[in-house]
Structure 1
Amino acid sequence: MADLEEIIKTRRSIREYSNQKVEDEKVEKILKAGMQAPGSRLGAEPWEFIVVKNKDTLKAIGETCPRVTNSQVAIVLIANIERAFYKKHWQQDMSAAAENMLLEACNLNLGGLWNGVAPTDEKMEKIRELFNLNENIKPFCIISLGYPADGLENKFMDKYDETRIHYEKY
């Protein structure tokens, strides 16, 4: 396992993937990382996941989130509102799960991209229809995954900007 600081610094949004298949074991590790995220309350984490490998389904998702089409696998993050502790803060719990998953993908030498769905009603409705989700299930985002295409990689890019830091007051 790589150093956490190194993973955080090198994770990048990878939008193009090779044709190499992503191993099921790696997908499972990414799902486990998502479920380890902090939630609003222990036992009330709203996340559920739909793993998609079928090229026709990836293409259908691509009509809403175009970057998903060329991935080897996509994970649709959905919130089961019935399990959420704070019914209006489910997106915070989902964000923590998504970031954990992207960091684990980087750790596994995969490329990943956070494709936003919520809070855009039109995108949420299209994903809801595609997967026949009821009203208690809220589509949040789609993480596309794959081995980075030639010339692409997770690599360090210094984004630190001390002018954005404020102490005690703005």
Structure 2
Amino acid sequence: MADLEEIIKTRRSIRKYADKEVEDEKIEKILKAGMQAPGSRLGAEPWEFIVVKNRETIDKLGEIKPRAKDAQAVIVLVANIDLSFYKDAWQQDMSAAAENMLLEACNLGLGGLWNGVAPWQDIMNPIAEIFDLPENVRPFCLITLGYPGEGQENKFMDKFHEERIHYEKY
């Protein structure tokens, strides 16, 4: 396992993937990382996940979110509102899960990309239709996965901006 500080510093949004299958064992580790995220209240974690490796389904997702087309696997993060403590703040819990998953993907030598879905109904609705989601389950984002393609890599880019740090007041 790589050093956490190194993973945080090197994780990048990978948009092009090599033509190489993502192993089920790695996907399971990514899912476990997502489920370790903090929730808004103990036992009230709304996340559920749909793993997609079928090319036809990935292509359908790519019609809605074009960056999904090149992925070797897609994890659709959905929120089961019935499991959420704060019914109007479920996106915060889902964001924590998504970031954990992206960091684990980097740790495993994979590339990943957060494809935003919520809160845009024109994107959420067609994704909900693809998976026949019940009304209490809402699509949050797609995480596309694969081995980084040519010209793509997880590498350090200094994004630190001291002028954006404020102490005690703005």
For Structure 1 versus Structure 2, the TM-score category normalised by the shorter chain is over 0.9
**Residue equivalent to 1:24:** 24
**Residue equivalent to 1:103:** 103
5+ residue gaps in structure 2? Answer: none
Letter in 1 for 2:86: Y
CA–CA distance in 1 between the matches of 2:157 and 2:9?
7
- Give the match's secondary structure for 1:163: helix
Instruction: Please give the TM-score of this superposition, normalised by the length of structure 1.
Output: 0.99
Q: How many residues align?
A: 170
| Structure 1 outlier segments of 4+, above 3 Å | none
CA–CA distance in 1 between the matches of 2:156 and 2:28?
26
CA–CA distance in 1 between the matches of 2:99 and 2:108?
14
Letter in 1 for 2:88: K
**Residue equivalent to 2:136:** 136
Deviation per CA, 1:78-113, whole angstroms, max 9, x where unpaired?
A: 000001011011000000000000000000000000
CA–CA distance in 2 between the matches of 1:65 and 1:2?
31
Letter in 2 for 1:16: K
Instruction: Please give the TM-score of this superposition, normalised by the length of structure 2.
Output: 0.99
**Residue equivalent to 1:114:** 114
- Give the match's secondary structure for 2:127: helix
- Give the match's secondary structure for 1:63: helix
Deviation at 1:141, TM superposition (A): 0.1
Letter in 2 for 1:87: K
5+ residue gaps in structure 1? Answer: none
Q: Percent identity?
A: 72
Deviation per CA, 1:90-140, whole angstroms, max 9, x where unpaired?
A: 000000000000000000000000000000111010111111111100100
CA–CA distance in 1 between the matches of 2:118 and 2:64?
12
**Residue equivalent to 2:63:** 63
**Residue equivalent to 2:158:** 158
